[in-house]
Structure 1
Amino acid sequence: MSVFETILTKAYKSTEWNKEKTLTSPNRGVYFGDGLFETMVYQNDELRFFGFHLDRLLEGMKLLGLNESKISPSEIIEHCKSIYQGEPLRVRLTIFRDGVGKYTPISEGFTQILHLTKLDKAPKIKSKAIVSKKVRLSFNSFSHLKTTSSLDYVMANKERQEQKADEVILLDSFKNVAESGASNIFWLKKGIVYTPSLESGCIAGISRRVLMKELIGKGKEVSEGLYPLSELLQAESVWVSNVSGISMIESIENSEFDTEMPDFLKGLL
């Protein structure tokens, strides 16, 4: 296992992180997807936007009824520092509830998995995007969180792969634009930046939060709402973003867009 493929686990009652290649089965992560995860970037001796990631993680833990006090941000940072060799790291923290049982939870404890790998940055341009015909997202009290119940995104990206596309666009159950296969989506039209609201069932992405905050701070008009696919297809430019960066979209189905990154986006992620 190289420095760019380090996996550590920590049991609920343990004070130590251990290197393990396998996990005990059965567990609620495998059985029910009863867990959460955050994907972060470690670079220049810091976890980028770590405070925002913690906000979302702790919100999810509170909703699931997990013991938030058992999360130690300093331990996560120390492990990143211990293997950092100057190249950005992709840091995934996954937690799943302890115990097994049936659907009803029986514990507030959880196991943590820290997975550190080399970061692959987002491509500047994604040439071909399709609209998923097999997956529709729905809004609920936890749809904005990154849960380990991610079959919608697995199936959407399988569809993308089968059609040899670079990106897949997901709609909600009312056929409004929601997000892409692993990123939030934005578009520019007549000087206004548009992005789907959380009511579409999209993830409350960290890069989404950062971009909206920065653009509004620069005086840019940002409109958040429920938009049919036709609104997206009339855009001047379209981009998707996650922790790995921003990618401009060249085409969606038969519509083409400007792939020159707008000046107001440069350097933000």
Structure 2
Amino acid sequence: MFILYNDQLLRESDWHLPLTDRAFQYNDGFFETAILANGRIRFWDQHRQRMREAAGALHLKLPEYFLQPTLEDKLLQLARQQQAEKYGRLKLKVWRAGAGLYTPQTSQVNWLASIEPATPASQEPLHIGICQNSHTVYTSLSHVKGPNAPLYVLAGLEKQARQQDDMLLLNQQGLVAELISSNIFWVKENTLYTSDLSSGCVNGILRRNILAWCHAQDIKTQQVLQSPEQLLQADAVFAANVTGIRAIASINGTQLHQKDAFVEQLRAGMQV
């Protein structure tokens, strides 16, 4: 397997992370997950924008080339090297370089990109539970991916123990935030709802695109703080991330309504 590390193509076996590295010591960084399909990186411009936001929140300085077209070209070359150009999953990790304790010595970064072949996500409806042991918390970092990863690991363990497809995470006030790796949406009386960022949810790439698409289609949207009971009364409930859109069939065993026509229209609009 080949990887890109600080703009250099390496074999995975030739790459080593020193014990003093801040990625290992402090998880001092963020990551992006993107999908490659038919020779392109889906929503690449939005991924670059979220990386700018994450770097700003963590006071990291991205290399100038990092947000230029040359990086995308190199990632596509890596995809071809990995035979993942037709369909693959890209994970791009960025973390603070240098040593130091909690107070860092630099804002410069190291970064690593890996790509593996993948298969398109299932479109089968999800049966989810409500997470009891983990809750989201709004902070200046809650909208980006990486700093709060242990929260989602604990939710994943609960999902496994309860034999659910996914878990609905609530914030500390018991209001709807997100799923483990997806944003959540629901439709009621021709309005599309999703959790407000103040719930502590990640500002997902597909979340941004769905809201923009609805605006272009003159579909009313609201970003809200609501209780899980509101989902039980919705006309349709679904999850969305860069791998696609999946209807939610039940929550804690209670069956939900599904307006399948809207979800199919949205899939077509997002081309996922």
Alignment of 1:1-269 (within 5 A): 1=1, 6-10=2-6, 16-21=8-13, 22-70=16-64, 71=66, 72-84=71-83, 87-259=86-258, 260=260, 262=262, 263-267=264-268, 268=270, 269=272
Contact 1:128 1:250 in 2 (8 A): yes
Task: Provide runs of 4+ in structure 1 moved above 4 Å.
Answer: none
| 1:199 partner amino acid | S
Matches of 2:11 and 2:109, distance apart in 1: 17
Q: Please report the TM-score for the alignment, with normalisation by the length of structure 1.
A: 0.90
Rate the CA distance shift 1:189–1:174 in 2: closer, same or farther, 3 A: same
Matches of 1:240 and 1:261, distance apart in 2: 15
Contact 1:137 1:178 in 2 (8 A): yes
Partner deviation per Cα, 1:155-210 (whole Å, 9 max, x = no partner): 00110011000010000111110000100000111221110011100000000011
Higher helix share: 2
Matches of 1:155 and 1:126, distance apart in 2: 23
Rate the CA distance shift 1:19–1:149 in 2: closer, same or farther, 3 A: farther
Q: Identify the range of structure 1 (20-29 vs 124-133) with the bigger mean alpha-carbon deviation.
A: 20-29
Matches of 1:63 and 1:74, distance apart in 2: 27
Contact 2:127 2:253 in 1 (8 A): no
Q: Shift of the alpha carbon at 1:229?
A: 1.4
Contact 1:33 1:149 in 2 (8 A): no
Partner deviation per Cα, 1:200-259 (whole Å, 9 max, x = no partner): 000000000111111221121111111111112221211101111011111001321235
Contact 1:186 1:193 in 2 (8 A): yes
Matches of 2:4 and 2:62, distance apart in 1: 19
Aligned Cα root-mean-square deviation (Å): 1.8
Q: Please report the TM-score for the alignment, with normalisation by the length of structure 2.
A: 0.89
Partner deviation per Cα, 1:3-60 (whole Å, 9 max, x = no partner): xxx43322xxxx5232234422232112211111111111222211100000000121
Matches of 2:256 and 2:103, distance apart in 1: 48
**Runs of 5+ unmatched residues, structure 2:** none
The number of residues matched between the two structures is: 261
Matches of 2:169 and 2:261, distance apart in 1: 22
**Runs of 5+ unmatched residues, structure 1:** none
Q: Shift of the alpha carbon at 1:127?
A: 3.7
Matches of 1:108 and 1:81, distance apart in 2: 32
Contact 1:40 1:48 in 2 (8 A): yes
Secondary structure of the structure 2 residue equivalent to 1:63: helix
Secondary structure of the structure 2 residue equivalent to 1:139: coil
Secondary structure of the structure 2 residue equivalent to 1:151: helix
Matches of 1:77 and 1:66, distance apart in 2: 25
Secondary structure of the structure 2 residue equivalent to 1:210: helix
Contact 1:9 1:19 in 2 (8 A): no
Matches of 2:55 and 2:72, distance apart in 1: 14
